[in-house]
């Protein structure tokens, strides 16, 4: 790493950072209150825990809708398109290269913030795990309306079981995710980037074709006028 020149780059926009930390707070509150409602410990008291959980859950649902809107309108969704290209290189890097001090095979660029492993991980979380949590949570919350909505074939214990299993998934992701933030060129580099928006990334790394978030039929420069690499 030391041989490469680092350039301070604005990676994460204000909304992205806001969303990231808002979601962090919401998820932490949901985990904390959710496991209390599940009877794991007593902290806020069952009543408060369940009321806070319901309120925060619904707030998350609404905020997530804005995130989806942002993804679609800015085209940022393309950052989540999964790929197998260099996937093994990235896996290899985290299993071995990182210990040897090798450079990251897919360093961050503004136009490609996620490496193939992140793409698949974040896509699984954002498109699969979180929607399952939100759907099962919403159904759980709306239990009393099931009959009116023609959903009385649903089973509360099944919904609850899915929701609890999902919560373990989210907690597990959280642990892995927080750890991965320490794997930058310094321990806090990634976290700093998610707070300030700026991260030092390697200079002169060319974006590869598959990483380019170019709209079909339109030149990349039209999308990203400030990118000299496009």
Binding site for another protein (CB under 8 A): 37-39, 42, 45-47, 50-51, 54-55, 58, 94, 98-101, 143-144, 156-157, 160-161, 164-165, 167-169, 171-172, 175-176, 179, 182-183
Query: Could you tell me which of 26, 30, 33 has the C-alpha nearest to residue 66?
Result: 26
In the bound complex, what is the minimum distance in angstroms from residue 145's beta carbon to another protein? 9
In the bound complex, what is the minimum distance in angstroms from residue 26's beta carbon to another protein? 15
**Residues composing the chain:** 230
User: Distance between alpha carbon 143 and the CA centroid of its chain, in Å?
Assistant: 28
Distances (CA, A) of 177 to 117, 145, 171, 190, 191: 12, 36, 10, 11, 11
Whichever of 169 and 197 has its CB closer to another protein, that residue is: 169
Whichever of 17 and 92 has its CB closer to another protein, that residue is: 92
Whichever of 7 and 165 has its CB closer to another protein, that residue is: 165
In the bound complex, what is the minimum distance in angstroms from residue 101's beta carbon to another protein? 7
Query: Could you tell me which of 189, 183, 213, 214 has the C-alpha nearest to residue 201?
Result: 189
Whichever of 84 and 148 has its CB closer to another protein, that residue is: 148
In the bound complex, what is the minimum distance in angstroms from residue 20's beta carbon to another protein? 20
CB 72 within 8 A of CB 78: no
Query: Could you tell me which of 178, 196, 128 has the C-alpha nearest to residue 28?
Result: 178
Token reading at 222: 């039209």
| Three-class DSSP category at 178 | helix
In the bound complex, what is the minimum distance in angstroms from residue 36's beta carbon to another protein? 8
Token reading at 119: 């793409």
Whichever of 36 and 199 has its CB closer to another protein, that residue is: 36
Whichever of 112 and 167 has its CB closer to another protein, that residue is: 167
Compute the C-alpha angle 170/15/56, nearest 5°: 45
In DSSP terms, 9 is beta-bridged to 199
In the bound complex, what is the minimum distance in angstroms from residue 203's beta carbon to another protein? 23
């Amino acid at each position: 790493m030391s041989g490469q020149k680092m350039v301070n780059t604005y990676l994460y926009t204000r909304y992205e950072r806001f969303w990231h930390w808002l979601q962090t707070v919401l998820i932490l509150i949901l985990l904390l209150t959710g496991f209390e409602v599940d009877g794991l410990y007593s902290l806020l008291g069952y009543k408060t825990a369940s009321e806070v959980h319901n309120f925060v859950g619904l707030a998350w649902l609404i905020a997530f809708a804005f995130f989806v809107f942002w993804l679609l309108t800015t085209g940022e969704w393309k950052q989540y398109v999964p790929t197998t290209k260099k996937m093994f290189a990235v896996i290899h890097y985290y299993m071995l290269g990182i210990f040897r001090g090798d450079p990251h095979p897919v360093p961050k660029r503004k136009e490609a913030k996620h490496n193939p492993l992140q793409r698949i991980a974040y896509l699984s979380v954002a498109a699969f795990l979180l929607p399952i949590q939100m759907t099962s949570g919403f159904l759980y919350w709306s239990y009393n309306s099931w009959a009116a909505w023609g959903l009385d074939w649903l089973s509360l214990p099944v919904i609850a079981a899915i929701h609890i299993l999902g919560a373990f998934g989210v907690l597990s992701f959280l642990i892995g995710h927080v750890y991965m933030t320490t794997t930058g060129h310094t321990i806090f580099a990634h976290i700093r980037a998610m707070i300030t928006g700026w991260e030092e990334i390697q200079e002169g790394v060319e974006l590869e074709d598959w990483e380019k978030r170019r709209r079909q039929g339109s030149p990349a420069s039209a999308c990203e006028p400030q990118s000299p690499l496009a």
